[in-house]
Amino acid sequence: MWDHEIRAMASSHAIIAASMLMATVIPAVALPGFSVYGTHLLWLYLVSGAVTAVSVAVFWLLGITPPTKKHTLGYKLSRFFRSCVYFFLSCLFFHTVVVLYGAPLIVSALETFSLAVLLTSLTTLRCLCVLGPNVQAWIRVFSRHGAMSVWDTCLQITVACTLVGAWVGAFPIPLDWDRPWQVWPVSCSLGALFGYLSGLVAAPAWIHYHRKQLIYKCK
């Protein structure tokens, strides 16, 4: 059963990674004047959009989202709205954190917000897909020894990798090399994306090699 889950996880991760790749390659071919550095914000939105759409689709198809108690349309709609609100709040949260880290408050607010959107679509969206709009569950998963399934562990790993990637991405900003990728927020968003990609690879691999040690206490 676990092998099955790990395989599902690996293939879904492959699909998500492929969608990110497509979001980079297709516009580069189709749109004239498109480049990762030059039209960075456009690229950021494309990638976030692609990741959002594909993850929602994949996780809906896989059916990982915890079963809801009620099946009425109204309840589903309210869940959907709550998810949207959470998504937006999470964007604001990331924006605030990035500003606290020293991003200019007014001058490049759009860039900062784009980075926040990207981080949200890489981390919070996944939480919403896997756990639903249930903060209690989120707190449980992100506290020590809180994972209760393979998907929880996977979520921990990808989110940590993404955030650490974005964190490390800020290192080259003070260097005086004057490269196009040092411009705010290029290095951070690239760091976040590379962190996310490595998380996508690392999560199934890590779970695969530690499947003997992983014991989840059931609810």
Partner 1 sequence: MKIRSSVFASFILIFEVIGIALFLRGFFPVPVRSSLSSKNKLSDLPAEPLTGRSPNSSRLPQPLFKRVVIMLVDAMREDFVFGPNGRMYMPYTRHVVERGSSQSFVAKARPPTVTMPRIKALTTGSIPGFIDVVMNLNSPALLEDNLIWQAKTAGKRMVFYGDDTWVRLFPKHFMEYDGTTSFFVSDYTEVDNNVTRHLDSTLKRDDWDILILHYLGLDHIGHISGPHSSLIQPKLLEMDDILKKIHSALISKEAEGSLPYLLVLCGDHGMSETGSHGGSSEPEVNTPLVLISPAFKRKVGMEKPGVVEQVDLTSTLALGLGLPISQNNVGRVIPSVLEETSLRDQLRFLHLNGHQLSCLLKDSMPDYEKEIGFEQFRVAEKAHGSWMKLYLEGNTSEVLSNMGKKVLKQYLEALAAMSSALSKQLGKYDMYSMITGMVFVFQLLLVLLLAMPEALSGAAAVDLPVLSALLSLPFYLLCLLLASVHVLVCTSAESSCYFCSLSWGLVFAAVAFSSAMFCILVSIATRRIPVGPKFRGTLPAPAQPLFIIKAPLGSSGGGGDWSLSELDVLLLAGTVGHTLSLAASSFVEEEHQTWYFLLNTLCLIVFQDVCRKYFREQSASEDEEEHILPSKDYHPSTYPKAEICSEKWLALATPLFTLVCCRLLRSLNQTGVQWAHLPDIGHWLNSSEHKMVLSLLSAFCLVLIYLLVQRRCSWVSKVALALGLLGVYSYRAAVGNVLFPWQHSSRTMSKGTVEARFVYVFVLGILFTGTKDLLRSQIITADAKLKSRGLWEIYSGLVLLVSLLFRAHNLPVLCCCLLIQNLMAQFIWKKLHYDAAQTTIMHYWFGQAFFYFQGNSNNIATVDISVGFVGLESYVEAPAIFLTALSTYAGPLLWACHLVCFLSSHRSPVAVGHGCYCLALLRSVPAAAYIVLVTVLRYHLFIWSVFSPKLLYESMHLLLTAGVCLFFNIMEQSHGSSKS
List residues binding partner 1 (CB under 8 A): 89, 93, 97, 99-102, 105, 134-136, 139-140, 143-144, 167, 170, 173-176
Shortest reach from residue 107's CB to partner 1, in Å: 9
Residue closer to partner 1, measured from CB, 13 or 95: 95
**Spatial distance between the Cα atoms of 170 and 74, rounded to a whole number of angstroms:** 43
Residue closer to partner 1, measured from CB, 144 or 217: 144
Residue closer to partner 1, measured from CB, 3 or 176: 176
Shortest reach from residue 40's CB to partner 1, in Å: 20
Distance of CA 15 to the CA centre of its chain: 14
**Spatial distance between the Cα atoms of 70 and 81, rounded to a whole number of angstroms:** 16
Shortest reach from residue 151's CB to partner 1, in Å: 20
Nearest C-alpha neighbor of 5 from the set 212, 200, 151, 145: 151
Tell me how far CA of residue 49 lies from CA of 13, 23, 159, in angstroms.
16, 9, 18
Shortest reach from residue 33's CB to partner 1, in Å: 27
Asked if the peptide bond before residue 174 counts as cis, ω within 30 degrees of 0, the response is no
